Amino acid sequence: MEYQILNIQIMDRIAVVVISRPAAMNALNSDFFSEFNHFLDDLEPRDDVKVLVITGAGKSFVAGADIAEMVNFGKEQGLAFSIKGQRTFDRLEQLNIPVIAAINGYALGGGCELAMACDFRIASNLARFGQPEMNLGLMPGYAGTQRLSRLTGLGNALYMILTAATISADDALRIGLVQKVTEPGSLMEEVMKLASKIADNGSQAVAVAKKIIRQGLEKEFSKASQMESEAFAKLFDQAATKEGLKAFLEKRKPDW
């Protein structure tokens, strides 16, 4: 597929996807979802990519969903557009590799929801976050009502969604929406350092840990802990784990 919206670069075990619709501040439309799902189809079976980084071109990460596409929607089109976004972001969240959002500017509406579907978020201090759908007589439709409350707590989610407030990167850090704030010029450098650090770890253990953490959120603590124990034990049968333990004792880097 020839991509019109996504710019993709894969090197040194890291895939970087840049969303580029400059005339629309990278707003998400049906073409974006088509391209992104095609990219995920290609990415999922690969074993040479250990980390995915998503960012936006220009002054925006993603400024929202494409209002021009939605303006004439009825109930059926609205439902289909919501389900399409939710399914795409669910696929992203469930990837067996870590996904980092590098947020360089506006992450509003669907852009904030895309960022929340990533495993964690690093932001420039120029970034701005919000769910401004109330200003349009709408509400979040790409599972933003669910992910925001899980990431930031009930009160913060209700505040952001019901007031349609836009918050700074520092406020996003304070409420747990992002994990680190950088200067604009060092954002991608910092993100790539983190991606490389993750890629240097045992990929099987990384994939299992991500899965257990995410699945455990939906279970009772005791059941989630048992699930952790079983996954922990299974790793001892993996050659990579044996190599990692041996390398530690021999004071060398593992040869994964």
Side-by-side strand order, sheet with 128-130:
60-62, 106-108, 128-130, 166-168
Helices (H), the chain: 30-43, 67-70, 75-93, 110-117, 144-152, 154-163, 169-174, 187-199, 203-216, 221-235, 239-249
133 catalytically annotated? yes
Instruction: Check 113, 190, 220, 250 and give the catalytic one.
Output: 113
Q: CB within 8 A of 62, min separation 6: which ones?
A: 19, 25, 26, 27, 28, 56, 106, 107, 108, 110, 111, 114, 115
- 93 tagged catalytic: no
Q: Which of 2, 35, 93, 133 is catalytic?
A: 133
| Residues marked as catalytic | 113, 133
